[in-house]
């Protein structure tokens, strides 16, 4: 009897912190199946790989917290990546970066405008923009990869370099994470976004301008996607219109693995960050084990289902 109760308590504990547990399990599994996993080169690569998805996932988390979704993020990465490379050829680097960021913000704002003012379902609005923006990326680049100008070596050096043996872009991820975490916990912005995802009508009747908040989360997601696009271009020194294909799904998956509810109102920055690392580790360890790319997709999908089912238990055990 006693044993049963304590077992139940353990289970509840595990279910409550399921993201942390999945993360720890992944760490142990990775260490066991591959002896190169914990080498500094591999960890360096892992972190560099997850950085763009990680940065966008913070924006996606905000969108998902309001009960929305943004499918256009992968396309923004490509378009902004291409634009950034192109602009370095014609203007100074700071201007090129500012202009690229502005483009991402603009696309995000457009999604936000369609969703908050015209009440178009987020899935549809951002699906349309996903197509438009992907097309624009191809148009700007004429379908071919664009090289970053040699004058912009500061950008490429930053993108491929490291500080204290941590890839430079990872610091941007850490900064994004920290800001998101603080906003969600200590700022009315986060408070209201979570409230909107829980019960939009109740928030409206409390005298809060819901549309302004919904608008801004899409703008932020667009802006962060632009940051990820610039970082990717900086790392490879090339802006390619085929970057970030299917990336929106990876980003959504990380947020979901991190325990956020797609119906809104539930999710945290730290768990989303863990979700990013979990998804990154799955890919990384499968690469180390030489699992073919096609099988990797299947396994990744299965793990996502598993993670979400675990959260279902959490919901029902309440």
Binding-site ranges for another protein (CB under 8 A): 186-189, 191-192, 194-195, 198-199, 201-209, 265-266
Q: In angstroms, what CA-CA distances link 178 with 16, 85, 175? A: 23, 28, 5
Q: Please state, in angstroms and rounded to a whole number, the distance separating the CA atoms of residues 83 and 233.
A: 10
Instruction: Supply the Cα-derived Rg of the chain in whole angstroms.
Output: 20
Give the nearer residue to another protein in terms of CB position, either 38 or 186.
186
Smallest separation (angstroms) from another protein to the CB of 187: 5
Smallest separation (angstroms) from another protein to the CB of 200: 10
Give yes or no for a contact between 67 and 264, defined as CB atoms under 8 angstroms apart. yes
Give the nearer residue to another protein in terms of CB position, either 167 or 265.
265
Smallest separation (angstroms) from another protein to the CB of 311: 15
Smallest separation (angstroms) from another protein to the CB of 74: 31
Please state, as a whole number, how many other Cβ atoms lie within 10 Å of the Cβ of residue 213.
21
Instruction: Provide the 3-class DSSP secondary structure of residue 258.
Output: coil
- Joined together, the tokens standing for residue 300 give 């990744």
Smallest separation (angstroms) from another protein to the CB of 99: 27
Give the nearer residue to another protein in terms of CB position, either 133 or 192.
192
Q: Please state, in angstroms and rounded to a whole number, the distance separating the CA atoms of residues 79 and 89.
A: 16
Instruction: Provide the 3-class DSSP secondary structure of residue 167.
Output: strand
Give yes or no for a contact between 158 and 227, defined as CB atoms under 8 angstroms apart. no
Give the nearer residue to another protein in terms of CB position, either 7 or 178.
178
Give yes or no for a contact between 102 and 222, defined as CB atoms under 8 angstroms apart. no
Smallest separation (angstroms) from another protein to the CB of 186: 5
Give yes or no for a contact between 16 and 311, defined as CB atoms under 8 angstroms apart. no
Give the nearer residue to another protein in terms of CB position, either 44 or 189.
189
Give yes or no for a contact between 129 and 110, defined as CB atoms under 8 angstroms apart. yes
Smallest separation (angstroms) from another protein to the CB of 266: 8
Give the nearer residue to another protein in terms of CB position, either 50 or 193.
193
Query: What is the rounded (10 degree) CA torsion for 71, 61, 240, 231?
Result: 170
Query: What is the rounded (10 degree) CA torsion for 34, 39, 40, 45?
Result: -20
Give the nearer residue to another protein in terms of CB position, either 188 or 298.
188
């Amino acid at each position: 009897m006693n044993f049963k109760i304590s077992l139940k308590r353990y289970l509840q504990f595990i279910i409550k912190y399921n993201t942390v547990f999945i993360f720890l399990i992944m760490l142990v599994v990775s260490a066991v199946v591959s002896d190169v996993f914990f080498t500094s080169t591999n960890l360096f690569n892992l972190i560099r790989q997850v950085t763009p998805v990680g940065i966008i996932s913070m924006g996606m988390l905000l969108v998902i917290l309001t009960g929305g979704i943004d499918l256009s993020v992968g396309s923004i990465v490509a378009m902004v990546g291409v634009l950034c490379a192109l602009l370095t050829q014609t203007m100074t680097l700071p201007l090129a970066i500012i202009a690229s960021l502005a483009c991402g913000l603009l696309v995000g704002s457009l999604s936000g405008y369609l969703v908050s003012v015209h009440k178009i379902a987020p899935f549809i609005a951002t699906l349309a923009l996903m197509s438009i923006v992907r097309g624009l990326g191809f148009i700007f680049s004429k379908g071919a990869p664009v090289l970053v100008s040699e004058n912009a070596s500061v950008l490429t050096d930053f993108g491929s370099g490291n500080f204290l043996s941590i890839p430079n872009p990872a610091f941007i991820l850490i900064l994004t994470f920290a800001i998101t975490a603080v906003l969600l916990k200590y700022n009315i912005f986060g408070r209201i976004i979570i409230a909107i995802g829980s019960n939009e009508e109740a928030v409206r009747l409390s005298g809060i301008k819901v549309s302004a908040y919904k608008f801004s989360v899409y703008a932020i997601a667009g802006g962060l996607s632009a940051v990820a696009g610039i970082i990717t271009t900086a790392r490879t020194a090339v802006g390619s219109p085929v970057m970030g294909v299917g990336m929106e799904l990876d980003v959504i998956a990380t947020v979901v693995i991190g325990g956020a509810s797609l119906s809104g109102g539930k999710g945290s920055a730290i768990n989303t960050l863990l979700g990013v690392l979990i998804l990154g580790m799955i890919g990384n360890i499968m690469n180390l084990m030489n699992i073919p790319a096609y099988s990797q997709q299947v396994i990744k999908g299965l793990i996502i289902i598993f993670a979400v089912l675990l959260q279902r238990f959490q919901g029902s055990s309440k």
